[in-house]
Chain A
Amino acid sequence: QKEVEQDPGPLSVPEGAIVSLNCTYSNSAFQYFMWYRQYSRKGPELLMYTYSSGNKEDGRFTAQVDKSSKYISLFIRDSQPSDSATYLCAMSYTGGFKTIFGAGTRLFVKA
């Protein structure tokens, strides 16, 4: 079993839809949870960074962490064609010095 599981998609939605992206994990030691956006042939860009449980909102993006269920989510409101990219979840813990990445979900937002 992988430490982090992420559905690779692809996920195709119409413009303006609410998008939900998810990851599950098995290591209860994880404390830091990140979401990255990666456009084709580019480096990943950090979108959201959350410590421990709870919600964090930044513009159209909301990150949720449920440590009891070992489940994290990224919601994108009013999705735009420019949101079309691969979204990677990632997680780590203090002293771990390594970050574990999900395989990424490819998202297509159709105009």
Chain B
Amino acid sequence: DGGITQSPKYLFRKEGQNVTLSCEQNLNHDAMYWYRQDPGQGLRLIYYSQIVNDFQKGDIAEGYSVSREKKESFPLTVTSAQKNPTAFYLCASSPDGDGEQFFGPGTRLTVL
């Protein structure tokens, strides 16, 4: 059953802690993306990766870091430098970086 999985579904973090959100895909897609979605707002691009071992900053990369060591995995770390991390985080993948993207179910991060 092909698709994109994200874990955990809900995550709670204390201020000052780093947390890592998992994203895995078995669609054999080259490109992967991380977005942040706040209530009533659209999707804002955090980071994207077109190929293994390469990634680019999106529009709101400050306070976040990523790695792309394997084609199927693109984890996102929310660092303590991110001033307002409470949000819904979405991972997506695309066959070649153009055209359609397919999304995971999302992780809701809450900072206590």
- Which A residues are within 8 Å of any B CB, using their own CB? 6, 8, 32, 34, 36, 41-46, 49, 51, 88, 90, 92-99, 101-104
Contact = CB atoms under 8 A, between A and B. Distances in A.
A43 B43 CA distance: 11
A97 B42 contact: no
Contacts of B101: 34, 46, 90, 99
Given A44-B103, A46-B102, 11 more contacts: A8-B40, A32-B99, A32-B100, A41-B106, A43-B106, A44-B90, A46-B100, A49-B99, A96-B98, A97-B31, A98-B45
A59 to B, nearest CB: 18
Contacts of B97: 96-97
B102 to A, nearest CB: 6
| Contact size range, B | 20 to 34
Interface string B79-109: 0000000001010001001111111111010
B74 interface: no
Given A97-B48, A101-B43, A42 B105 contact: yes
Contacts of A34: 99-101
Nearest to B104: A43
Interface of B: 4, 6, 31, 33, 40-43, 45, 48, 50, 56, 58, 88, 90, 94, 97-106, 108
Contacts of B88: 41
A92 B99 contact: yes
B105 to A, nearest CB: 5
A93 B41 CA distance: 23
Given A101-B43, A102-B42, A104-B42, A49 B90 contact: no
Given A43-B104, A43-B105, A93 B98 contact: yes
Contacts of B103: 36, 43-46
B99 A103 contact: no
B26 to A, nearest CB: 16
Contacts of A43: 4, 6, 90, 103-106
Contacts of B94: 99
